[in-house]
């Protein structure tokens, strides 16, 4: 995971802890109609607000963190989180369907939109803390064709319980 993503996760944790208004604004960051309310906080971390491929991943991660209120970055990867939401784990047809939907995404915007209910489901099932920094890295690299397939393969391998070695791009 990148240093920038780790610093962003720490930045959001501190903002959420220290200011309830910031936490409320960040909870709205992944809704297209209300995301502008979080822009002051995102811009404070030098996020390019005019770049959808940068803004949407940061907004999606910040919004989920504001809802989940993690004390630190976790170790649970998105594939693992999806599997853990169901009693049968990675053998659940519902879990497999949710993973397939995520893997069918072709753009960063679509992946962020599909992740929103998955992250909410994981939160409702008590699956936490997620590894937000790694997920943020994945979403930031998702817009590049050569990275997208590698990221999808990593998510699928995590879902099926396989560990993936991090590469230099991670």
Decide: 79 and 127 in contact? Cβ < 8 Å. Answer: no
What's the token pair of residue 113? Answer: 């939109």
Decide: 7 and 61 in contact? Cβ < 8 Å. Answer: no
Q: Residue 128: what pLDDT?
A: 87
Domains and CATH numbers, the chain: 3-160 (1.10.520.40)
pLDDT digits (tens, 9 = 90+) for 14-42: 999 999 999 999 999 999 999 999 999 99
What pTM did the predictor assign?
Answer: 0.91
Q: Residue 1: what pLDDT?
A: 79
For CA atoms 16, 17, 21, 22, give the dihedral sign.
negative
Please list the pLDDT of the chain residue by residue as tens digits (170 residues): 799 999 999 999 999 999 999 999 999 999 999 999 999 999 999 999 999 999 999 999 999 999 999 999 999 999 999 999 999 999 999 999 999 999 999 999 999 999 999 999 999 999 989 999 999 999 999 999 999 999 999 999 999 986 544 444 44
Rounded CA-CA distance 170/167 in Å is: 5
């Amino acid at each position: 995971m990148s240093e920038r993503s780790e610093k962003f996760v720490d930045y959001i944790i501190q903002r959420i802890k220290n200011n309830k208004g910031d936490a409320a604004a960040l909870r709205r960051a992944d809704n297209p109609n209300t995301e502008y309310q979080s822009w002051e906080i995102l811009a404070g971390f030098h996020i390019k607000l005019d770049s959808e491929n940068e803004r949407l991943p940061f907004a999606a991660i910040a919004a989920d963190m504001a809802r989940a209120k993690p004390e630190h970055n976790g170790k649970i990867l998105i594939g693992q989180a999806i599997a853990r939401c169901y009693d049968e784990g990675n053998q659940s047809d519902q879990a497999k369907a949710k993973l397939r939907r995520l893997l069918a995404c072709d753009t960063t915007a679509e992946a962020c939109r599909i992740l929103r209910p998955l992250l909410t489901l994981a939160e409702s099932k008590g699956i936490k803390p997620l590894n937000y920094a790694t997920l943020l890295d994945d979403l930031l690299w998702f817009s590049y064709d050569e990275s997208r397939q590698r990221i999808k393969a990593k998510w699928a391998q995590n879902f099926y319980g396989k560990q993936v070695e991090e590469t230099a791009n991670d």
